[in-house]
Structure 1
C-alpha cells in the first residue's frame, strides 16, 4: 500500500473545531439534520456540506489540449468563388429561359453566355480546391442521395450539359453557314435542341443555386449547421440579385426589365433572409462570428451594397449608367455575402465555445422536456 502527503489532508472544519461522532448513526443523523435545514449535506457535491468541500471544481471547457474541438475546413478563396459563380450561373439560366420565351434576343444571348462562362469558372474553382481534376470525375462514378456533395456534383454537371447545348445553339444562330453539308445539319439540329436545352437549364437552375447552402449546413461547423433552415434562402436570393445585376450591366436598358425585377426581388429577399438568419443565431449566441472580425466587415459592406444597388435598380430603367452601377453593386454584394458566410463559419469552428455552447443548450432543452436517458451525460 502506498501513501502520499495528500492522504493526511483534511478540509478545515467550521469554527476551527473538530466535532466527533460516536458512531455511524451519529453521522447519518447529522447529515439528515443538515439536509432538512439547508437542502444540502456533506454527502452531496453541490452543497459542499458542513463536513467537506468538493475536491475538484466544476470543469470549464475551453479547448482540447490547445486545439479547437472541431477542425475548421481548409478552404481558401476558391470555394467562396465557386459558390458565387454557381449562383450567377443558376440565375442567368433562369433569365435566359424567360428572355427566350418573351422574345428578348439580346438578353437571351447575354444570359446564356454568362451562364456558360460562370458554370465553367465555377467548376474550375472547385477543381482548383480539390487539387486534381480526376477527383471531380471520381464523384460521378456513383449517385449517393444522402450526400450533398454527390448530389451537387450531378446537379452542376447536368446544368453544365444543358447550358452547353443552349450556348451552342446560340452561337450557331449567330453564324452564317451553308444550308447543306455537315455545318448546316449541325445548325438545324442545335435549333431543334434549343428549347429542350433551355427547359433543362431552367429545371436545374434552382437546385444549383440552393444545394451549396445544403452542402455547408451538412457539416459540423456551428454557424453553418445552426443556419440550415435560413441559409438556402440567403443563397438563392443572393444568386438572383447577382445574376440580375450582371445582366443589368451587360444588357441594354430596354431589354433588361426582367433582369431588374429579378435583381430587385433577390436584393429584398436577401436582406430579409440575412436578418432572419442573424436573429436565429443571436438566440443561440452564435451571431458574434457574423458581426465581428473579417466576416463582420465583409457582411456589413455586402448589406450596404445591397441597399445601394437595390435603390439604384428602382431608377435603372431610365439611365444606362445607373443600371451598370447598380448591377455591379448587387453582384459585388452577392460575392461578399458568400465570402462573409464562409469566413464566419470557419471562425466559429476555431473557437470551442461556439461548439460547446449549443451542445449545452440542447442538453438543457432535452432535460427540460424530460429526456434524461438519451445520453450518458443526461442521466440523473
Structure 2
C-alpha cells in the first residue's frame, strides 16, 4: 500500500520562507497603529460634540500610539533611513507604499493636535489637525490587514476578505478602552458605544473568516496563537459588557476595568493573528493542500 503523503519539502525546509519581521516590533506596530487610528475618530467626535474630557485623552493617546508604532517599525527596519527610502516613490498597488505615505501624513497631524491640546493655544490649528487625522484614521487602522493578506502567508492571505473588518473592530475596542480608562465617566458615552460595536465587528468577522478559510484557519486553533486568541475573545467580550454596565451604574472603577480589558484584548488579537501567520508559513501543508484542492476544482 502507498503510505499517506507527508507534507515536507526538500531537505526539510518549509515551502515558504517565514516572515523575517521581529514579532514584538511588528505585532506591536499592528496594535498601536489601530489604537491610534481609531483614537483619532474619538478625538474628533469628542471635539465636535462638546466633550473635551473625551477629546483630550483621545488626542494624546493617538499621538503616543503613533509615535510608538513608528518607533517599532523603524526598529524592525534597522535604521530610520529605510523608512524614508520607502517614501521615494508612491505605488498605489503596494500596501507597503500606501501605508508608508499614510503614516507620513497622519503622524504630523496627530502630533499637532496633541501639542495644541497640551499647550492650550492655536485651537483653530489643533481642531483642523484633529479632523484631518480622523479622516485618515480608518485607513490607518485597517491598512495593516491589507498588508498582511497581500503576502503569501496562508493564514493571512486566505483571510483577505474579512481581516480588514477584524482589524477595524480591534482598533475600535482598543481606542474605546483607552477612552474609558482615561476620560471622565460622564463624557465616555461615544466610547461605550464604540466598544460594543467594535467588539461585535471584531468577533463576528473573525469567526466568519475562520469558517471561510478552511484548512488555513487551523493555526488559529493551535498552540500559542490559540491561547492568545481565546484570551482576546474573553477580554473583548468581558470589556464590552463592563463598558455597558459602567454606563448604567456610573461607576468609574468599572469603566477603568472595561478599558483595561479592551486594550489587552485588542493586543492579544493582533499578536495571535501575527503568530498564527508565522506558524502557517512554517508548515508546508497549509501551502500544498489548498493548491491541490484548487487544481482539483479546476480539473473537475
Query: Shorter chain as normaliser: what TM range?
Result: over 0.9
After superposition, residues 276-295 of structure 1 pair within 5 angstroms as 276-281=208-213, 284-295=214-225
1:58 and 1:344 map into 2 onto residues whose CA distance is: 26
Higher relative contact order, chain-length normalized (CA < 8 Å, sep 6+)? 2
Structure 1 residue 90 corresponds to structure 2 residue 20: no
Asked if residue 312 in structure 1 is aligned to residue 242 in structure 2, the reply is yes
**Please, what TM-score do these two structures have when normalized by structure 1?**
0.76
Q: Equivalent residues in 2 for 1:215-254 (5 A)?
A: 215-254=147-186
Pair 1:101-2:33 in alignment: no
The answer to whether structure 1 residue 126 and structure 2 residue 73 are counterparts is yes
Q: Equivalents in 2 of 1:291, 1:59: separation in Å?
A: 23
Tell me how far 1:148 sits from its aligned partner.
Answer: 0.6
Distance 1:293 1:60, change over 3 A: closer
Which residue number in structure 2 is paired with residue 24 of structure 1?
none
Q: 1 or 2, which has the higher helix percentage?
A: 2
**TM-score scaled by structure 2?**
0.95
Show the counterpart of 1:78: 25
Distance 1:289 1:57 in 2: 25
2:17 & 2:66 partners in 1: Cα distance?
30
Q: What's the CA shift for 1:195?
A: 2.9
Tell me the matched-pair count.
297
Q: By how many angstroms is 1:63 displaced?
A: 1.7
Structure label with greater radius of gyration:
1
Separation of aligned partners in 2, 1:143 and 1:252:
42
1:69 equivalent to 2:1? Answer no
CA distance in 2, matches of 1:328, 1:306: 10
8 Å contact kept, 2:59–2:130: no
Structure 2 CA distance for aligned equivalents of residues 60 and 249 of structure 1: 51
Q: Which runs of 5+ in 2 are unaligned?
A: none
Query: CA offset at residue 161 of structure 1?
Result: 1.5
Deviation at 1:57, TM superposition (A): 9.4
Q: Which runs of 5+ in 1 are unaligned?
A: 1-55, 174-186, 369-380
RMSD of the TM alignment (CA)? Answer: 1.6
Q: What does residue 179 of structure 1 align with? A: none
